[in-house]
Structure 1
Amino acid sequence: MNQSVTIDVNKATAVTVSSPVKVWQQRLTLILFVQLLLIVGIFAYNKNTQLNVDAQPLLGTAISEVDRIVIRDANSSAALQKAASGWQLPELHQLPVDQQKLDDILQKLEGTKLTWPVTTTSASHERFEVTDKKFQRRIELFTGDTKKADILLGGSPGFKKVYLRKEGDDNVYAVELTTFEFATNATEWLQKSLLAVKDPTMIKAADYHLQKKGDQWSFVVPAGSTPEKIAAEKLNELTNAVASLQIQSVEAQAPEGGERATIAVASSAGEFTFEFVKADGAFFVTRSDNNRYFKISQYEYERIVSINKAALVDNKPEAPASVVTNTSDPIADITSLDSVLKK
């Protein structure tokens, strides 16, 4: 039995053409999917690897063992030396270091951990500014004559961060430190409140003498005299100025000439005599237990020297005594009295 077969050439051609396109679409989709899986896998691997890197302490020694610190930049350096009485500045006549400022940076160094390095090759050190010749800061910690740490700080990768390398190690790290915290000028480390007298109990100047007994301040006057009343606001200004006096720097030589004012101050720590000097547009102070002169601001100078007895006396007049007046109605009073008499 003969059967005729009819073939639609157009449809056959369409099938033949469309099939390879669909196949390639499927292959490309599969390739894209595999690429996405690879990207996610690599990211997860790197993330997991970074998290699993053991954090190593920056310092290999305890901070308590460090007794000398040298901080350098390209042009200057500052040395801090530990003594029995505390940290001192050898370059500034063994004057005391600002202990709070020093404690802050030592705690940061001790707490800094090194995890994933930014680079591990020496060829990149110059770019990050952590070479022996090119650096922002070099921090050397000693115990006696033994160097316990040699740290190079370079450029900044971001806010409150800096590149760091330890001498002898090619690894460079990004850590949460800043170069400005590590001053290379000894004056920046000087304890600025060195001459302040906390909780004064006596202050004596050319024209006044104040004494504190218990919680009360009064003028010291000759026997038989009546002391003036003290202006509380000005007294507070004066005692606060003495208790928070801030120096700026130590002078190599004593200032010559100028205007001079002497003030004595006592507290539980002892009695001290200050000499304030205004010379050549600058302001200075020295204290009897320290033969050095220190530069101070005009503000610090004036808030102590400009206060005299006239400013400390309270001249406000006493409030007048209150006068009791009769506010009753006189007509009502007469009527009331008349009623009483009629009875």
Structure 2
Amino acid sequence: MKMKKWISILGGLLLVQLVLAIAVNLMGEDYGAFEPQEKLLAFDEKGVDGLRIEDGENSLVLKKRDGKWLLPDSGDFPADQEAVERLLDKLATLEKGWPVATTAGAAKRFKVDDEAFERRLALLIKEETQAVLYVGTSPGFRKVHVRPEGEDAVYAVAFNTWEANAKADDWIDKDILRLEGDQVTRVEMPEFTLQRNDEQWQLVSLKAQEETNGEEARALVDKLTGLPIESLLGTEAKPSFRQEAPEFEVKLARKGGDLLSYRFSKPEDEDYYVLKRSDLDHYFKVAPFAVEPIQTTGREKLVQTKTEEAPSETSGGDISAEAEVEAAEVQE
């Protein structure tokens, strides 16, 4: 009886295996033809001069001109060069591995279908599409499902969806305002003016017993020359920007350059500042943490009372010697 029972169990397991094998064959999951080390996309990384990213709602275009990546739909604003090159490097090194599915139904389920996707990336050379990749759902940490256009196979690769966002603010050069500190010669604020003399910053119009706090002066200049932006607000002034009634203005002179004017305003009921710099067409959104330390730097923070020079060791020694001679004469 026990032997017959075991034969029945084993027979059942064999039947299950046969059913699974038939199901796999019917679904067309034939992995034998795939090469795990094959590149996911075939394109000339050095030749790519265009990138289009879509997410179903937004569409972004990046163009390379004269060796620089720009955002044409944002007035040719400079893109973050390193971020664009990093994305291209990542796409060029992705490998297929073994497909997780090869059916049209799976493509829709993993959101890498022609019509339903998380991201659609198109790589261009002179307006001609070289490769297209659909990016979909995530099967795990730092993993996404992808499908190259023209293929049925869906793969799971090491990639993050946020590395290919379709909004311009995610690609702008947020250090566009950065200046070399040693090229700045003068800073004019509402309450004071700083002037560079050789390598030292000096407050203009110091009183007799005042001197410049060099550390605070350098800190202020560093904040101005390293000011980051959050996003673009267009090239047209809007009443909501309140630029006609700014919170404060700063003027900054450079070696051999024009005087730059920084106008900071604060929209009503908003937790950010609007900045317009005189040499740039765009208005910028800037975070309070970057602006307020500049705004609250007053003259009193940059001034300190002069410290009296202590007598030198040599003069101190001479005084002691004279005192000893006088003492000897008194004793005589």
Deviates more, 1:167-176 or 1:279-288: 279-288
Tell me the residue number matched to 2:253.
266
Q: Give 3-state SS (helix, strand or coil) of 1:239's partner.
A: helix
Tell me the residue number matched to 2:264.
276
* Inter-CA distance 152–227: structure 2 relative to 1 (3 Å threshold): farther
Paired amino acid for 2:201:
W
Tell me the residue number matched to 1:112.
94
Quick one: which of 299, 312, 322 aligns to 1:309?
Answer: 299
Quick one: which of 177, 185, 198 aligns to 2:159?
Answer: 177
Q: Does 1:211 align with 2:169?
A: no
- Per-residue CA deviation, residues 233-272 of structure 1 (Å, 9 max, x unaligned), is 3223212211221112222332234334222223458342
Quick one: which of 40, 46, 69 aligns to 1:58?
Answer: 40
* Inter-CA distance 228–291: structure 2 relative to 1 (3 Å threshold): farther
- In the alignment, the residues of structure 1 paired with residue 282 and residue 35 of structure 2 have an alpha-carbon distance, to the nearest angstrom, of 53
- In the alignment, the residues of structure 2 paired with residue 228 and residue 140 of structure 1 have an alpha-carbon distance, to the nearest angstrom, of 62
* Inter-CA distance 269–159: structure 2 relative to 1 (3 Å threshold): farther
Identity fraction in percent? 29
Does structure 1 conserve the Cα–Cα contact (< 8 Å) formed by 2:38 and 2:97?
yes
- Per-residue CA deviation, residues 87-128 of structure 1 (Å, 9 max, x unaligned), is 111121111101122122111111111121112222311111
Q: Give 3-state SS (helix, strand or coil) of 1:290's partner.
A: coil
* Inter-CA distance 81–205: structure 2 relative to 1 (3 Å threshold): same
Does structure 2 conserve the Cα–Cα contact (< 8 Å) formed by 1:88 and 1:97?
yes
Does structure 2 conserve the Cα–Cα contact (< 8 Å) formed by 1:68 and 1:82?
yes
Unpaired segments of 5 or more residues in structure 2? 15-30, 320-326
Q: Does 1:156 align with 2:138?
A: yes
Tell me the residue number matched to 2:324.
none
Q: Give 3-state SS (helix, strand or coil) of 2:281's partner.
A: strand
Unpaired segments of 5 or more residues in structure 1? 1-20, 36-48, 327-333
- Max radius of gyration: which structure? 1
* Inter-CA distance 235–56: structure 2 relative to 1 (3 Å threshold): same
Does structure 2 conserve the Cα–Cα contact (< 8 Å) formed by 1:248 and 1:296?
yes
- In the alignment, the residues of structure 1 paired with residue 306 and residue 121 of structure 2 have an alpha-carbon distance, to the nearest angstrom, of 60
Quick one: which of 222, 230, 240 aligns to 1:248?
Answer: 230
- In the alignment, the residues of structure 2 paired with residue 266 and residue 249 of structure 1 have an alpha-carbon distance, to the nearest angstrom, of 25
Does structure 2 conserve the Cα–Cα contact (< 8 Å) formed by 1:221 and 1:227?
no
- In the alignment, the residues of structure 2 paired with residue 240 and residue 155 of structure 1 have an alpha-carbon distance, to the nearest angstrom, of 43
Tell me the residue number matched to 2:215.
233
Q: Does 1:75 align with 2:57?
A: yes
* Inter-CA distance 321–284: structure 2 relative to 1 (3 Å threshold): farther
Tell me the residue number matched to 2:21.
none
**Per-residue deviation at 1:211?**
2.6
**Per-residue deviation at 1:318?**
4.6
